[in-house]
């Protein structure tokens, strides 16, 4: 499996953010997108996820499920945690499992893996910032998808949380998945770097 982009151009608000960008990542690899604020790191992730139109160029996935699109084979973990505060921790995972479809793993096992097994019935509104991040990470485990698109994934995580997530990312790569992460901080795993910058 290989994710690649060729000649990718990003335009936001009538302004070129970046252009002629080439990248690739294969199964078992992590690609860290590095750049200053406003350089287009999040925009690139959103283009891969199918949430933002590509102005020029192409992005594709080879060797995945032929009948599924790239967005259907990817998890996008944004820098904001997509949680419903009125739902409990376990209900949030059930929502995402039903929304995303596919073959879900056991939600309680996912919560245990991120250290939230003690809070399954707690409303998400009562979680700390670090706990909300852990719940968002549990979504990656609840419905298995080979491509993880991570935007500042270690935000709000303490040292123990960062170590836990590094271990989960390593397991994902060992299982044949791939990771593309926009980050200012070390991921805790081996990753090739893709540096992008504004063309203005």
Q: Please report the pLDDT score of residue 199 as a whole number.
A: 44
The 10s digit of each residue's pLDDT in 35-94 is 888 889 999 999 999 999 999 999 999 998 888 999 999 999 987 778 888 999 999 988
Q: Please report the pLDDT score of residue 125 as a whole number.
A: 92
| Backbone torsions φ then ψ of 176, nearest 5 degrees | 95, 5
Confidence of residue 5 (pLDDT cuts 50, 70, 90): very high
Query: Nearest-CA neighbor of 23 among 178, 128, 157, 137?
Result: 178
Res 104 pLDDT > 70: no
Tokens at 192, concatenated? 């090739």
Instruction: Please state the pTM of the whole predicted model.
Output: 0.92
DSSP 106-174: -HHHHHHHTT-GGGTTSBGGG--HHHHHHHHHHHHHHB--SEEEEESTTTT--HHHHHHHHHHHHHHHH
The 10s digit of each residue's pLDDT in 143-170 is 889 999 999 888 888 999 999 999 999 9
Give me the sign of the Cα torsion angle 70, 74, 79, 82.
positive
DSSP 33-44: EE--TTSSHHHH
- CA dist 112 and 63 (Å) reads 31
Tally Cβ neighbours within 10 Å of residue 188.
Answer: 16
Specify the CATH class of 2-195 in words.
alpha beta
Q: Please report the pLDDT score of residue 23 as a whole number.
A: 96
- CA dist 132 and 119 (Å) reads 11
Query: Three-state DSSP class for 80?
Result: coil
């Amino acid at each position: 499996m290989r994710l690649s982009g060729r000649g990718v151009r990003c335009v936001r608000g009538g302004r070129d953010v970046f252009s002629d960008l080439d990248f690739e990542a294969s199964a078992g690899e992590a690609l860290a997108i590095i750049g200053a604020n406003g350089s287009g790191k999040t925009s690139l992730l959103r283009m891969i996820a199918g949430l933002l139109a590509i102005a020029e160029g192409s992005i594709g996935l080879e060797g995945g499920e032929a009948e599924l699109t790239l967005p259907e084979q990817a998890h996008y973990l944004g820098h904001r945690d997509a949680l419903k505060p009125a739902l409990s921790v376990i209900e949030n995972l059930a929502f995402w499992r039903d929304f995303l479809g596919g073959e879900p793993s056991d939600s309680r096992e996912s919560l245990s893996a991120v250290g939230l097994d003690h809070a399954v019935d707690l409303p998400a509104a009562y979680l700390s910032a670090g706990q909300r991040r852990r719940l968002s990470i549990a979504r990656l485990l609840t419905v298995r998808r080979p491509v993880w698109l991570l935007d500042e994934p270690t935000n709000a995580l303490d040292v123990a949380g960062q170590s836990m997530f590094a271990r989960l990312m390593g397991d994902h790569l060992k299982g044949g998945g791939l990771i593309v992460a926009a980050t200012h901080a070390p991921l805790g795993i081996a990753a090739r770097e893709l540096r992008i910058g504004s063309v203005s």
